[in-house]
Structure 1
Amino acid sequence: MTSKDTGCQYCMESLHGRKFALKEENAYCVTCYDSLFANSCEECKMPIKCDSKDLAYKGRHWHEACFKCAKCNHSLVEKPFAAKDELLLCTECYSNMYSSKCFHCKKTIMPGSRKMEFKGSSWHETCFVCQYCRQPLGTKPLITQDNENYCVPCFEKQFAHHCYSCKKVITTGGVTFNNQPWHKECFLCAGCKQQLSGQRFISKGEYPYCLDCFSNLYAKKCSACNNAITALGDAKFISFEDRQWHSECFNCVKCSVSLVGQGFLSQQDDILCRECGSAM
């Protein structure tokens, strides 16, 4: 600074031959300027005098020597930094404390670098690759198996089952029948073609059938109620000569007493208990 012929705007003492500072075009001696206008340093709380460099960030001020990382204490002068909870941090400390860690390599994903996110975890872009072919997955469709990510073609080569019916890949879900995988939508009744997934069915040879189709095509009919006798529900039935009965239907046609485990008589198409048969 150079001398000025006028006096200090505050104390009015001559500035001739003395250092001074300007504030809104008014001249002040150094002492008056510091007492009136000097900012307090956020770190040391001392005034930042006019002969010191005043570093400001978002309305706060620091001495040049006090402008340091709150974690490692290294100077932040002319270096990139970040603010967290009113603390200033160098980019390395900020990354170590607050940045995401890569799920694959466990290293910090530095601010400004591209980050891939999937199922609540983060990856470096170069770490987010197919486990099999090692090609970047980016935003392409992928399938996860045992916590590893695969592109769809590699997953199909390595793990996927092929539907016994349509021969296409089963990516999710599916049904197993006769030790063969099926798409749910391909697992149909061999008779009426109704979808069987989630329903009860009966197999005949290599083919599944819904209850109605199996009953109509293959099930024996009860000689009493004429309904099908299937292996579902109460599988017990009575067979006599070429006729069959549900166990609950095997009753005397005259007195309706159950004949299961009892002696009985046959008269033409009727079955009778011994008492009713002897009375006739």
Structure 2
Amino acid sequence: MGERYDCTKCKESLYGQKYILTEEQPYCVKCYEALFSSNCEVCQLLIGCTGKDLSYKDRHWHGDCFLCTKCDRSLVDRPFATMDDTLMCTDCYSNEYSAKCHACLKTIMPGSKKMEHKGNSWHENCFTCNRCQQPIGTKSFVQKDFSNYCIPCYEKQFAQQCVHCKAPITTGGVNYREQPWHKECFVCIGCKQQLAGQRFTSRDDFAYCLDCFCNLFAKKCASCTTPISGLGGSKYISFAQRQWHNDCFNCKRCCVSLVGRGFLTCKEDILCPDCGKDF
């Protein structure tokens, strides 16, 4: 008697019967479907071994059940998209969920390249400079009055020119005497320190930091010889073409403050009345 050829599961003879060979093990159709076939996501019926099993992310469908949930069009051999485990053709998905181009107002199809900025989206070819109409792509741009401009066009059309270097001011800047400056161009005429955000003063239309202004133009204290700026409300004493800081206007001999008091002079020195009696 010849060797038997039986189903691996139920041991029934497979001679003259249909069977499926899986990993070199034979199974009758009934056992194979019970062990290996899946139920359809839509109709919940078994997908038989003779039927078409369409699978996506461990989910299975009959060929006739693999349809767009919006328009019922077959998705067999067609591109599709999913949202919350729901199957849709790309047209329905786009109408339902895809962004609309801010320029042409048409849907931006899934998978196509798009540009995004501040919550708006564009087709790549629609994201263009409002002035030269050239695609901006990944280049730098400026948005003004809800329109986008490449940097060269923005500078030509809108940017002010620095009164010092004549180049466009695209970010920030300083307005001094109703004229625009780059921050890096608005510097002390003496030490070249940037003055933006700092206290400064001017003379003969030139801007100076306080240190340079005091060193160049301020009167010197007759006592400590350092400049008396007179800026910011600082007080000083002036007498006979000489000036003193308030804190320096003291009796040369006893060092008492003479601010608001009578005093005497002896050559270059100032003395309180008591010390002046001895001279």
In structure 2, how many angstroms separate the alpha carbons of the residues matched to 1:33 and 1:242?
116
> What corresponds to 1:276 in structure 2?
275
Q: Following superposition of structure 1 onto structure 2, how do residues 202-213 of structure 1 map, counting pairs within 5 Å? A: 202-213=201-212
Give the CA deviation at 1:228: 0.1
Q: Secondary structure at the match of 2:224?
A: coil
Give the CA deviation at 1:182: 2.1
In structure 1, how many angstroms separate the alpha carbons of the residues matched to 2:277 and 2:125?
93
In structure 2, how many angstroms separate the alpha carbons of the residues matched to 1:76 and 1:221?
91
In structure 2, how many angstroms separate the alpha carbons of the residues matched to 1:35 and 1:242?
115
Q: Secondary structure at the match of 1:216?
A: helix
Matched, 1:224 2:223: yes
Number of equivalent positions: 268
Q: TM-score, normalised on structure 2?
A: 0.75
- Are residues 13 and 217 of structure 1, via their aligned partners in 2, closer, same or farther at CA, if it must alter by over 3 Å? closer
Give 1:175's aligned amino acid. Answer: V
Contact 1:21 1:50 in 2 (8 A): no
> What corresponds to 2:243 in structure 1?
244
Give the CA deviation at 1:206: 0.9
- Are residues 27 and 144 of structure 1, via their aligned partners in 2, closer, same or farther at CA, if it must alter by over 3 Å? closer
Give the CA deviation at 1:199: 4.6
CA RMSD of superposed structures (Å): 3.8
Unmatched 5+ stretches in structure 2:
1-5
> What corresponds to 2:255 in structure 1?
256
Q: Secondary structure at the match of 1:209?
A: strand
Give the CA deviation at 1:37: 6.8
In structure 1, how many angstroms separate the alpha carbons of the residues matched to 2:189 and 2:51?
92
Q: Structure 1 residues 264-273 or 33-42, which shifts more?
A: 33-42
In structure 1, how many angstroms separate the alpha carbons of the residues matched to 2:157 and 2:66?
56
In structure 2, how many angstroms separate the alpha carbons of the residues matched to 1:40 and 1:194?
78
Give 2:164's aligned amino acid. Answer: S
Q: TM-score, normalised on structure 1?
A: 0.74
In structure 2, how many angstroms separate the alpha carbons of the residues matched to 1:13 and 1:164?
97
Give the CA deviation at 1:172: 2.0
Give the CA deviation at 1:196: 4.0
Q: Secondary structure at the match of 1:123?
A: strand
> What corresponds to 1:4 in structure 2?
none
In structure 1, how many angstroms separate the alpha carbons of the residues matched to 2:37 and 2:226?
103
Unmatched 5+ stretches in structure 1:
1-7
Q: Following superposition of structure 1 onto structure 2, how do residues 79-118 of structure 1 map, counting pairs within 5 Å? A: 79-84=78-83, 86-95=85-94, 99-100=98-99, 102=101, 108-118=107-117
